Structure 1
Amino acid sequence: MSTPKIILASSSQTRKDLMDRLRIDYHSVVPDIDESPRGENHADELAKRLAFEKARFIAEQNPDAIVIGSDQVAWREGAPDIFIGKPLCNEKAVKQLQANSDKIVYFSTALSVQQQSTGYEQTLVEHYKVKFRKLSLPEIERYVEVEQPLHCAGSFKCESLGISLFEEMIGQDQTTLMGMPMIKLCGILRDLKILVP
Structure 2
Amino acid sequence: MNSPSIILASSSQTRKALMDRLHLAYHTVVPDIDESPQGENHADDLAKRLAFEKAKYISELHPDAIVIGSDQVAWREGAPDIFIGKPLTIEKAIRQLQANSNKIVYFSTALSVQQKSTGFEQTIIEHYKVKFRKLSQAEIERYVAIEQPLHCAGSFKCESLGISLFEEMIGQDQTTLMGMPMIKLCQILRDLKVLVP
TM-score bin, normalised by smaller chain: over 0.9
What is the CA–CA distance in structure 2 between the aligned matches of 1:98 and 1:50, rounded to whole Å? 28
What secondary structure is seen at the aligned counterpart in 2 of 1:168?
A: strand
What is the CA–CA distance in structure 2 between the aligned matches of 1:3 and 1:133, rounded to whole Å? 47
Match of 2:184 in 1: 184
Match of 1:38 in 2: 38
Structure 1 residue ranges (4+ consecutive) displaced by more than 3 angstroms after TM superposition? none
Match of 1:91 in 2: 91
Match of 1:123 in 2: 123
Match of 1:175 in 2: 175
* Pairing of 1:138-157 with structure 2 (within 5 A): 138-157=138-157
What is the CA–CA distance in structure 1 between the aligned matches of 2:196 and 2:86, rounded to whole Å? 32
In the superposition, the TM-score normalised over structure 2's length comes to 1.00
Match of 1:107 in 2: 107
- 1:3-57 CA deviation, whole Å, 9 max, x = no partner? 1000000000000000000000000010000000001010000000000000000
What is the CA–CA distance in structure 2 between the aligned matches of 1:155 and 1:80, rounded to whole Å? 18
What secondary structure is seen at the aligned counterpart in 2 of 1:111?
A: strand
- 1:118-156 CA deviation, whole Å, 9 max, x = no partner? 000000000000000000001000000000000000000
- For structure 1, the residue ranges without an aligned partner over 5 or more in a row are none
What is the CA–CA distance in structure 2 between the aligned matches of 1:60 and 1:168, rounded to whole Å? 41
State the identity as a percent.
85
Q: CA RMSD in A?
A: 0.3
Match of 2:75 in 1: 75
Q: Aligned residues, how many?
A: 197
Displacement, 1:2? 1.1
- The one-letter code matched in structure 2 to 1:64 is D
What secondary structure is seen at the aligned counterpart in 2 of 1:92?
A: helix
